[in-house]
Structure formats: structure tokens, C-alpha cells
Amino acid sequence: MVLRDFIHLAATSLAARRLRSVLTSLGIGVGIAAVVLLTSIGEGVHRYVLSEFTQFGTTLVGINPGRTTTHGTSMGVFGSERPLSIEDAEALKQLSFVEAVVPFVQGNAEVEAGNRRRRTTIYGAGPQMPRALRMRVNSGEFLPHDDPTAPRALAVLGSKLRQELFAYRNPLGQRITIAGNRYRIIGVMEPKGQVLGFDLDDTVYIPAARALELFNRETLFEIDVMYRANASVERVVEGIKRTLLARHGREDFTITTQEQMLDVLGSILNVLTFAVAAIGGISLLVGAIGIVTIMTIAVNERTGEIGLMRALGARQAQIMGLFLGEATVLAAIGGLAGLAMGLGVASLLRLALPELPVHTPWIYVVLAEVLAVVLGIISGILPARRAARLDPVEALRDE
Amino acid sequence: MMRLHSGDVTLFAWHALQGYPARTLLMLIAMAIGVAAVVVLTSLGEGARRYVSAEFASLGTNLLIVIPGRSETAGINPSTMMGETPRELTLDDARSLTRSFSVRRMAPITVGSANVMAQGRQREVVILGSSHELLAIRHWRMAQGQFLPGTDLDLATPVCVIGAKVRNEIFAARRAVGEWLRIGDRRFRVIGVMGSQGRSIGVDVHDTVIVPVASAQQLFNQSSLFRILVEAKSRSAIRPAKQFVTDTLRERHQGEEDVTVITQDGVLATFDRILQALTIAVGGIAAISLGVAGILIMNVMLVAVSQRTAEIGLLKALGANRRQILALFLSEALLLSMLGAVLGLVVGQLGSLAIRYAFPLLPAYAPAWAVSLSILVAVATGVLFSLLPARRAAGLDPVLALSRR
């Protein structure tokens, strides 16, 4: 039997029972569609979260007061006997690989401009913040390089807060009152949107030392260090650790690198995507059982045909190949149909729910099709073996 | 006119299924996988929901949580959770919250981390500043000694209560109660050790040292509170208590509403909704496989109809009408999908039993709605997908059907 005959035989026997073939393929197709769609959503969410994190740059190291406890975050943020101070932040600037250092304090207060008031988030930050976090100033300028321990009372508004307080008037040079203290506005930031639950537009940025005073705190929430792209992370962490150890006498701070965070997040999201895909894969399993069932029936029905072929000299391997081929073609067609369905629904989702990130990498598409074919082969093995082992004499008598 | 009793129909269907054991078994497995998947996955989701509910319930009962700071844009967001405010929550604020009929107890809370040291061993732990009432609010139990004394909130008594882990790490096998413990730059007398069941969301009580709130404020050089926990008298008193807390604090803060009051029920309901939605989604995804099993049943029934054409012809020739043939095939599908569903239910329940056995913390019980819905969907798809083959069989012309062979 040449290959062409082989394909011809398989194709005609599938075409002869068109409805049956279509339904069998459909079973696999639904499974593949579910897997493709679910992994697309998983991958989309994965990318979305990573881009949320990396939009601040990847060469960042965060330092928090207090040692890490078992649940990841340090309680030192709320209060610590060994605070992280503005002087600490200044000391870190001396390190050779450091590009920018931003001290952070965060709080909540009422901001008043003229007769408009709004309760909003106050960020105490350093002058290098736009550079370190890749944020842009829309008009005016960001906080100037004042004496870090006694800065002037200047403020920069987030775009949404500017809209709320000043509507269409020019806020630059205006005075606002933050919890009773007067500040002069020197800049407005470009819109940044929500980042992981924090609305960065509904905020006002003031110098960190002023924020510490305002909230009557001793310790900063965090110091963000941006390092040069060519410096190795280990060296950076080592350097920061040495500086702070020299200042504090012991390790009472926590250093988190952006890379660590991305690694942890990435692996969590991968596991989630895999789990969801596996749940979708249950349908695939059922589809495979469908192929087994239909092929078993086919072998039963075509006992006479098989007997004839064997009598005419077809070897066992050829019979087996024929049935395996049929099962594989069924699964492959089902896989293609499933891919089309999955991708179709994915693009529909993208249209209907633009905020739900959906992304289908090509490798998934290829993998899904390979999976379908492999499933076809596996589920074809049992029926095909039965067909191949039929005794030609018995099989012919069956007719 | 031929008469068929429903018992005869079922028996007939049963024999038809028995005639082809291999394919019947495969279809049963297909159906069972779908039902079992739905049962197991929803039981996982339900387990997670119950676990979270229990965790929240262990926080206390009829609880209100007062958080300093309020944001106008979104009710509660991460920034309110850790934010600082210019006008802090003070001990006086906390004390004023007890003056209502709807409030039973109140405990102020400050949190921070500090180094604790005793007899040469040291450890960085979470320091919780609170009052006598906290024990009752959180339903905690003491393992040894007693909890913080019920003295005035302003009194910075140098005593502390330690968690079991702190005790083990620092005092090891020696007696802890009555010993001195250095926290930061101050000394505290250990007066009690917390019991074992003090585990709840966010704070691991095992690894915590609890001191009087005024002492914690001195330690961290703060005059503000991190939270105030208020316990309402009863479930129905939660609303008035919330109103009272909001009003009182507004009055005390010169008419400015700068605190967020969340109720335990509110938070619980939110989590409940999220986890419920997740359970439904996961169960729904698993239920796709029921659809696939339905397609399989349809396929096999179509094959069966074409294989049994002669049989159908004979039945029709003997006087069976359309409806009877239809009923024959439909009951075959019904029997098949019901058996499959029951099989799947058994496997699924065994699966969730195994989960409960492997993770005793997770009460993984399949919710009743999921069980009944999955069986219903299984049976419905079985019947629905066999409608086409059954109709094809019923529509066969008896003469042609008989002459086929």
C-alpha cells in the first residue's frame, strides 16, 4: 500500500460517515476551544499584571522598615522602633550604581483649593520620583532638589485631582491647603491611571519630609532605589545592605528587588493558567473517549473489510496504521475547528470586554494542535490494535 | 396497535445497552467524568468559601472595624488600608466609642514590629498594642497566665502577653510567665501565653507579642491608633452601632468625616460573592465536558439507529407507532445519562472526601446546587442530544427499513 492509497482509504471511510466524523471531531474541537480560550485569558492576565509592574521600570529595589515576617509584608510599615529615615535615603545616594533614590510616605488627607475640598491620597516623595518610576510631568515641574530635611512647601497634583479642584483653570502657582498647611502648586502630572488598585491620578505629591511632619511619623514607608541597568542586582542589594547596616547597626529593614517580585508573580500566574487549562482539559479527555468509542464501533462494523484486506495481503501494521490514521485525522480536524472556535471567542471577548486582557501566543496554538493529534493517536491505539489482531478467516466469515 | 409498558421500555433500553458493553461503558465513563469534575471542583470552591467564612468568623462576632482615613473615589482601596492621616485616631476617640447602648466592647489596636530579647535570644516580631477587651472580642484563649489587665487605656503598664511561637523561640523549655522580656528599649513582664487557636487573617498570633496600647504607643513613639475594633451588642445592633461610630467620630473631628468604618458582615459578604462567582465559573468550565459527553451520546445513538434499522422496521411492522419508537430511544439515552451521572456523583463525592482527608483545613463539600445542577445538566444533555437520532429512528419507513437486509 502506498501512502496515497493510505490517505485515500482513510479519507473515504471518514467521508462515508460524514455526520459521525463531524460529531467526533466536534467533541475534540470543543475541548481544544476551551483550553485555548482559557489559556488565552490566563496569558492575557499574566501579561497585564507584569506590564502593570514593569511600567515603573525593572531596575528598582524597594526597601521597607522592619524585617519580613512570615506573611511576606513587614509590619514595620505601620510602626517600628527602628525607623527608615530621610537621612537613610540620602546616604543611599552616595552608592556608585545608584541612579535615583526616592523616599516614600503615603497617607490620606483633605485637600482644599478655594472653596473646593476633596479627601485624597497624599504621597510624600523625593525629587527624583519621575525619573525612577518613569512618570511624566504634564505642566510645570516636579518637586525641586531642596534640602531634603527641610524642603519648601511645594506640591504637584495628579491629573484627576487637578480636574476635581481646578476644573479648567490653570493650577500652577495657586495655593492649596493640605490638612491646614498651605502649599504652592508647581506642577501637574500626566495621567497614569489605576495601578493595582492605587489610583495614581487622584493624588498630590509633596516633599517626603513634609509628609512625615504632616502625618507625625518617624519612618518612611519605603525607599525606592533605581540602579544603573548595567549593575548586577546582587551587587546593588549587597551595597544597600552594607550602607544601611553601617547606619543602623543591624538588619532591621527588608529589601525587595523588582526581579524577585516579578519571578514570584510570574510563577503564581503560570500555575493559575495551568490549573485553569487543566480544568478545560477535562472536556478534551471526554472528547478523546468519544474517539475511542467511535473507532471501536468502526472496527466492529468493518470487520469484513478488514478481513478482506488481510486476505489480500495487508500486514497487521498496515491495518493498525489505517485505523490510527483515521483517529488522528479526526482529532486533527477537531483540533483545527477547536482552534478556530477558541480564537473566535477570544476575539469576541476582546471586542465585548476590552478591559479583560486576552492574549493567545502562537506557541499555544501550535501546542494545542499537537495535543489534539497526540490525543487522536493515543485514543486510536486500542481500537486499531483490535482491528490489526483480527483473524482474517474469522473476520471474513463475519461478512 | 402495539402496547408498550414503561417497564417494558426500560427493560428494552437496558438490553439494548447491554448488547454493546464496550461502547456503553465508554459513554458512561464520559458522562461520569463530566459530573465528577463538576462535583470535585465545586466542592473545592465551596471548601475555600467555607474556610474564608470561618476565618472571618474567628475574627469576632458582630464586629465593626474603624480605620483612619477615607478616600472619596473608591470606598476601600489599598491606600486606605495602610494610610496615615493628619488627624489621627486617638485613645480618646476610642474611649468615646463605648458610650452607646449598641456597643458591647471596644479594643484599640496599634501595630508595629520590634526586636524582642530575653536571656540572650532575640527575634523580630509583630507587636500588637491593645487592651483587656481584645481577648473577648477575638474569642482567643489563654494557654497560661492571664491577658492584659483591664486598667485605664492611658496606663502604660510594662506587661506583655506572648504567642506560643515567641515563647518557644525565646524561652524554649523554660518558664515564660513572670520573666522579663526586652521589647525594643523597654522591659516588660510576661504575664501570659496565648492559646493555640489564635490564628486569623493577617496576623499570626503565635508570632506576636501583645502589650497595653499605651506601652505600644510609647515604644513606637506614636499617638495614633492603627484600628479600633468595636463589637456590637447583637446582630441587629450593627447598623445603629456603625451610625453611632461614624457620628461620634465626625463630631470629635470637627465635623470632618475622615474615618472608614467597615463591618465584618460587609467584608465577609464581599469575599463570599467573589468565591461564589469563582466556584460557579470553575464548575461551568468543567460542565463544558458534559456537553462533549452529550455530543458523544448523540453520535453513538446515531450509529445505533443505523445499525438497528431492521429491528426498528420489525417493531414498526408489528404496530409500534412513532411515539413509541421515540420513547424507546429516548429512554435508552435517559438511562445511559442517569447511570453516568450517578457514577460520576459517586466518583466526585469520593474525590472530595479524598480532598477533605488530604487537607483537613479545607471543608470541601460539594454544594447541593452544584450536585443537583450537574445531574440535571447531564440528564438534560443526554436526552437533548439523543432527540435527533431518536427522531430519525421514529421517522424510518417500515418497509424500507425491513428490506435493507
Mutate to test the interface with B, among A69, A75, A341 (most CBs of B within 10 A): A75
Q: What is the mean pLDDT of residues B314-329?
A: 85
Query: What's residue B85's pLDDT?
Result: 66
HSE on the CB side for A171, CA within 13 Å?
32
Per-residue pLDDT of chain A (399 residues; tens, 9 = 90+): 567 777 787 778 777 778 888 888 998 999 999 988 888 888 888 888 888 777 777 788 888 887 654 444 455 555 555 678 888 888 888 888 888 999 988 888 888 888 888 888 888 998 988 888 888 888 888 999 988 888 999 999 988 888 888 888 888 988 999 888 899 999 999 887 766 556 778 889 999 999 988 887 778 888 889 888 888 888 888 999 999 888 887 777 888 888 887 888 888 888 888 888 888 888 888 999 988 988 888 888 888 888 888 888 888 888 888 888 888 888 999 999 999 999 898 888 888 877 777 888 888 888 888 989 998 999 888 888 888 888 888 778 765
For B220, the closest chain A residue by CA position comes to A81
Span B232-245, pLDDT tens digits? 988 888 889 999 99
Span B358-385, pLDDT tens digits? 888 888 888 888 899 899 998 998 888 8
For B294, the closest chain A residue by CA position comes to A27
Can you tell me the ipTM of this complex?
Answer: 0.73
Residue B189 reports pLDDT greater than 60: yes
Query: What's residue A2's pLDDT?
Result: 66
Model pTM above 0.90 = no
CA–CA min distance B58, chain A (Å):
19
- Please state, in angstroms and rounded to a whole number, the distance separating the CA atoms of residues B222 and B317: 96
CA–CA min distance B364, chain A (Å):
17
Residue B171 reports pLDDT greater than 80: yes
Residue B71 reports pLDDT greater than 70: no
Residue for grid cell 439523543? B386
Query: What's residue B75's pLDDT?
Result: 43
A211 with A222: CB under 8 angstroms?
A: no
Those residues with Cβ within 8 angstroms of residue B128's Cβ, 6 or more apart along the chain or in another chain? B109, B110, B111, B203, B208, B209, B210, B211, B216
Cell of A274: 495551568
**B111·A71 Cβ contact <8 A:** no
Candidate from B29, B73, B114 with C-beta closest to A81: B114
Query: What's residue B343's pLDDT?
Result: 93
**B222·A282 Cβ contact <8 A:** no
Mean pLDDT for chain B overall: 84
Nearest to B49 by CA among B376, B314, B368, B363: B363
**B78·A198 Cβ contact <8 A:** yes
**A198·B256 Cβ contact <8 A:** no
Task: With beta carbons under 8 A apart, name residues in chain A contacting B289.
Answer: 31, 282-283, 285-286
Query: What's residue A398's pLDDT?
Result: 63
**B30·A120 Cβ contact <8 A:** no
Task: With beta carbons under 8 A apart, name residues in chain B contacting A110.
Answer: 256, 258
Nearest to B42 by CA among B312, B385, B311, B275: B275
Task: With beta carbons under 8 A apart, name residues in chain B contacting A109.
Answer: 85-86
Higher-pLDDT residue of B405 and A162 is A162
Query: What's residue B237's pLDDT?
Result: 87
For A73, the closest chain B residue by CA position comes to B202
Candidate from B69, B113, B223 with C-beta closest to A76: B113
Residues comprising chain A, all counted: 399
CA–CA min distance A328, chain B (Å):
17
Span B48-61, pLDDT tens digits? 888 888 877 777 77
Residue B17 reports pLDDT greater than 60: yes
Higher-pLDDT residue of B113 and A100 is A100
What are the distances in angstroms from CA B24 to CA A265, B14, B21, B300? 46, 10, 5, 9
- Please state, in angstroms and rounded to a whole number, the distance separating the CA atoms of residues A303 and A318: 15
